[in-house]
Amino acid sequence: MTARIAIHCDRMGRYGGCTSLLRTDATDVAEAEATAARLGWVINGTPDYCPRCSGQPTPGPAATVVELHPHTP
């Protein structure tokens, strides 16, 4: 059985905070945090940071995308 677990970016700046949110369908919190870490999130327990706020590069897609009908001018 899985649960919807949301991980929020906890970066709070002087003028507000980051609104990044990652929703996961995981069996427990550890699995949700492992998924977030694979996607570039910095997970330290508290606070957690999205890739943009932590300065980490956002990983590309896990699958190769092949264009079946390329646009030709």
Residues 6+ apart with CB under 8 A from 19: 9
Q: Using the structure block, give the residue that is written with the tokens 């956002």.
A: 58
Whole-number Å distance between alpha carbons of 58 and 40: 5
Binned at pLDDT 50, 70 and 90, residue 58 comes out as low
The CA angle 47-50-56, to the nearest 5 degrees, is 110
5-43 residue pLDDT tens = 888 887 655 544 788 888 888 888 899 889 888 888 888
Q: Domain residue spans in the chain?
A: 3-54
Full-prediction pTM beyond 0.75?
no
Cα 13 off chain centre by: 20
